Structure 1
């Protein structure tokens, strides 16, 4: 029987790319989303409704699943849902689990942000009955998609981390490692810290994007109060806002400069650069 792979967070940045790559490989995919009617998926994907607060919906989605890509609830509002999702996945007999975590998890210097995925990671590592893999990506190159509106209006783009350098990673690489781990047992028991090939600043990203677009991309650095207002306006709770601000300040101070070769180790090729990501997404910014 053909193996069924469940992808949670199937409409998100990484989940949607995991679905696309699995389908391209000919895998049997079930996509979990809270609103199947609005989900746009490749042909052949089984789309099911599921909510982390609705256990029966999760149990139904997990029925007959052989491998699962788990995207937990990020932030202080988790309330143990990440751990319960892992427990439900194990109870359903899923033999292979890949968890999307975050760089710095479990490291005290990362502050609150470093604790958000820790319970889920610990629950997974204690699972002797499954093949597990944990992915800890750095800052996503796709975060700069939010610049499109400012560029279209002829405005500078926000620089949230000042002169802080980060190992900005292409989400396609993260998804490709996830797909490899979902389909190949040799990744079992591994924790991959996934980064791009170099630690770069926001200004470095703006310069690369400017070269791709053939026009200037200027940046502006918001104050902490401005950042807090923007994050609060996005609907985040006060706890989540403080956690994100702490992570941004940590990066701004040069704390997130980690660069690894884990993409190459997992995939046998080097990680894509931000410039490569920008080339592939040039059309998003072309109208500006």
Structure 2
């Protein structure tokens, strides 16, 4: 029986939803964040999340979430958060320089007596064709596999929620950027990734598995734009960017040079068809098909200024 589950990255796209789903199930949850006020606000908002966004379970009273402050650069704060936890959701890599932090999180979990770890990784990890970005999660994956803990690795494809970055352009009638050409991806709803994470945190039957998580179909940027246009009832144009134009755009957004090159390598991999992958892992774990991008778009249409 899992007694306390620690969620790192608890205010992020996946972590916040893992917290919500676990609390809805009545599990004892501790949320680690650098900004406790943000996590508390998310906890208060959970009751306003539509029923369709949950796990399909949730019978009984929702558990209170314990929010603790912690920073990966302050190991003592992470050690304190790990104390008493029997399972941990690990969200460790933020960029190319964070591999040591990822390994440290695994060691801290082991030293704290944690029994089970679920690591959030990324599709294509370890594939040389992805470029250096494909190595960012490798040290963390290697650490969990060598930790002697019950481990599960999740490798999700592109998140449907990535298109939230288009919201301002769509509201103002501007074209959305396309850095991947006609390249296709098994775009996945982050709620499905979180639900798989919850199952892996709660059940030992997922120990020793690496799950590549995708949606039910492959989509390119033009496909997603067309679906959004249909859902929103207005045109959504796309703008094809060359690698140099993409580099300039990413730099304008404040990314450092090494991160930019990693993103460009990943974009080239997608553009060349490397990420045109659909798996049945979500179905295998959850017993139902993954949500479609259209379902995600309908549920989040207000973020784009729906008509």
TM-score range, shorter chain: over 0.9
For the Cα contact (< 8 Å) 2:18–2:197, is it kept in 1?
A: yes
In structure 1, the partner of 2:58 is none
In structure 2, the partner of 1:9 is 9
Structure 2 residue 146 is the aligned partner of structure 1 residue 145: no
For the Cα contact (< 8 Å) 1:74–1:117, is it kept in 2?
A: no
Q: Distance in 2 between matches of 1:109 and 1:79?
A: 20
Structure 2 residue 125 is the aligned partner of structure 1 residue 124: no
Aligned-pair CA distance for 1:221 = 1.2
Deviation per residue, 1:79-103 (Å, 9 max, x gap): 5110011110111011110000000
Q: How many residues align?
A: 287
In structure 1, the partner of 2:43 is 42
The 3-state SS of whatever aligns with 1:245 is: helix
In structure 1, the partner of 2:135 is 115
Change (3 A) 1:79 1:197: closer
Deviation per residue, 1:178-225 (Å, 9 max, x gap): 000001111111100000111111111111111111111111112222
Structure 2 residue 102 is the aligned partner of structure 1 residue 82: yes
In structure 1, the partner of 2:227 is 208
Counterpart selection for 1:241 from 248, 260, 268: 260
Aligned-pair CA distance for 1:230 = 2.3
Counterpart selection for 1:185 from 189, 192, 204: 204
For the Cα contact (< 8 Å) 1:23–1:42, is it kept in 2?
A: no
What do you get for the CA RMSD once the two structures are aligned? 1.4
For the Cα contact (< 8 Å) 1:31–1:46, is it kept in 2?
A: yes
Q: Distance in 1 between matches of 2:295 and 2:162?
A: 15
For the Cα contact (< 8 Å) 2:173–2:236, is it kept in 1?
A: no
Aligned-pair CA distance for 1:161 = 0.9
For the Cα contact (< 8 Å) 2:2–2:86, is it kept in 1?
A: no
Q: Distance in 1 between matches of 2:127 and 2:21?
A: 31
Does 167-176 or 72-81 show the bigger shift? 72-81
Q: Distance in 1 between matches of 2:80 and 2:104?
A: 15
Q: Which runs of 5+ in 1 are unaligned?
A: none
For the Cα contact (< 8 Å) 2:131–2:265, is it kept in 1?
A: yes
In structure 2, the partner of 1:98 is 118
Aligned-pair CA distance for 1:35 = 1.7
Aligned-pair CA distance for 1:65 = 0.5
Q: Distance in 2 between matches of 1:252 and 1:172?
A: 26
In structure 2, the partner of 1:27 is 27
Deviation per residue, 1:114-146 (Å, 9 max, x gap): 100001101111122x11100000000000011
Structure 1-normalised TM-score?
A: 0.96
